[in-house]
Structure 1
C-alpha cells in the first residue's frame, strides 16, 4: 500500500458526511492531476433508461456552465464514456475517445458531446465504472484532468498510480452508498420520515397515529406528502425510495 493511501482510506471509512467526503475526495484526486470530478449513481436503470434524473445521486465540482448543459440538457445520455461505463467495470482511458474521433466512428450525437467537452476544457481523463450491486443499479465517476494535460500524461499518471486511484474511488463509492442523500425536490420533513419509518416497521395506520400522537387523517397527510416529495404512487414505493436514499432510520437526520 503506497504512502498516504492508508490514512485516506481510513478517513473514507469513517466519514459521516457526504459534503465532507466529496470535498476531500476532490482535493485528493487533484493531487494526481484530476481537478474536475463527476460522480453518478442510479438504482432505477432499465433496458431503455437510467431512470428519472432527479433520482440520480450526482456529485460534481464542475462549473454550472458545464453541468447545466452536460446534465441539464441531457448530453450525458449520448456521452461515449457513459456508454462505456454502462457496459464495463473498471477503469477506462479517454484515449478511446481520441481513437473514435480519429477513426470518425462517433455518431452525430456523440460528436456533439465530444465538441462540447473540448469547448469546456474536458479533453483528457479516465472513467472508473463500479461493480453493479443489482441489475438496476450503476455507478461511475469521470476524472477530468486539469486543463493543459494531454492524454499521454494522464495515461502515464495512471500507469504509476492507477491501482491506488481506482481503489480510492471504489471505497469512496461504497461509502457514498451508505450516506444520506437528498436529491433536488426529494427531501422529507421529520414527520414524513417518521411516518414512513413506522410503515417500514409494519405498523398499521392506527398504530402510527397513536405512536406519533396524531389523528389517522394527519398521518395519512404526512404519508401523502412523502409520496409526492418522492414522486411515487404508493407508500410502499415511498418506503423503498427513502430507504435507497438512506433517508430513513438515520441518526441525527
Structure 2
C-alpha cells in the first residue's frame, strides 16, 4: 500500500484492531517488524501514571512484553528518557552514544542488556507532540533481528519523513478510537447507564428510561466503576469518555 492510500485507509478505520494491523504491516515494509505504542494522560515529573491507565499497542512477543511492560522496564529505558524530554524522531544510535559516554544509569543498563538478549537492538523512537503537560505518546519501531543501526539509519534517511508522517497520523487516529484495555470493556447496558448519568439523569430517571429497576441500574453502574477501576460514577463517566468508549466524536 502506497503512502496516500495508506493514509486514507488509516484515517477511515473504525477500530484499533483494524488500524494496528494495517500499521504493523506497513511499518514491516520498511524493516520495522516489532512496534510498541504507548500513551498516557497522567504523566507527572516522577511517574507516567498507573500502567493500567495506559493505552498500549504492540506486536512484540509476550516473552518480551511480560518483562519490558509487566516488570516496569519501560520506565527505565534510555529511549523513554529521550522521548519524555523531546519531540520528533530519535535514532537508537543515541543509546550507544550514552553508553560510550557512561551516561546510562544502572537501571538503564539493565534495560539495554535485556533488549540485547531479546534482539531489540536497532530502531527508531517517535515522540509525539503533546497538547497537555500531563499527556505523552510515543512509539518504538524495532528493526528486524540482524539489522544494524547503520542500515536502519540509511532507511530513515531515505524514507524517514514518510514513516514519521504515517506514525503521526496513526497516533492521532488512535486517540479518537475506543480503547478498553485489558478487562476494561464495558457492556452496552453499562455504557448506556453511564451516558444517562452524563446527561444529568438520576438513578430513578435512568431506570424508567431503560425499562429497568433502580437496583439493576445501580448494578450496571457498580460494574462499570469496577471495570474502569474508579470509585465514583462521575469518575467512571469521565474515564469512559477519555478512552472513547462513550460520547465518541467522529474524527
When normalised by structure 2's length, the TM-score is 0.96
Corresponding residue of 1:114:
112
Pairing 1:59–2:57 present: yes
Corresponding residue of 1:143:
141
Aligned counterparts of 2:90 and 2:236: Cα–Cα separation in 1: 36
Aligned counterparts of 1:134 and 1:63: Cα–Cα separation in 2: 32
- Structure 2: 5+ residue runs without aligned partners? none
Match of 2:181 among 173, 180, 183: 183
Q: SS state of the match for residue 191, structure 1?
A: helix
Corresponding residue of 2:69:
71
Paired residues for 1:2-151 under 5 Å? 4-151=2-149
Q: SS state of the match for residue 202, structure 1?
A: coil
Aligned counterparts of 2:43 and 2:113: Cα–Cα separation in 1: 27
Structure 1 outlier segments of 4+, above 3 Å: none
Shift of 1:250: 5.7
Does the aligned pair in 1 maintain the 2:10–2:22 contact within 8 Å? no
1:69-117 per-residue CA deviation (whole Å, 9 max, x = no partner) reads 1001100010010111111111011010011112222111000000000
- Structure 1: 5+ residue runs without aligned partners? none
Shift of 1:14: 0.6
Q: SS state of the match for residue 113, structure 2?
A: helix
When normalised by structure 1's length, the TM-score is 0.95
Corresponding residue of 1:199:
197
What root-mean-square deviation, in Å, do the aligned CA atoms of Structure 1 and Structure 2 show?
1.4
Q: SS state of the match for residue 5, structure 2?
A: helix
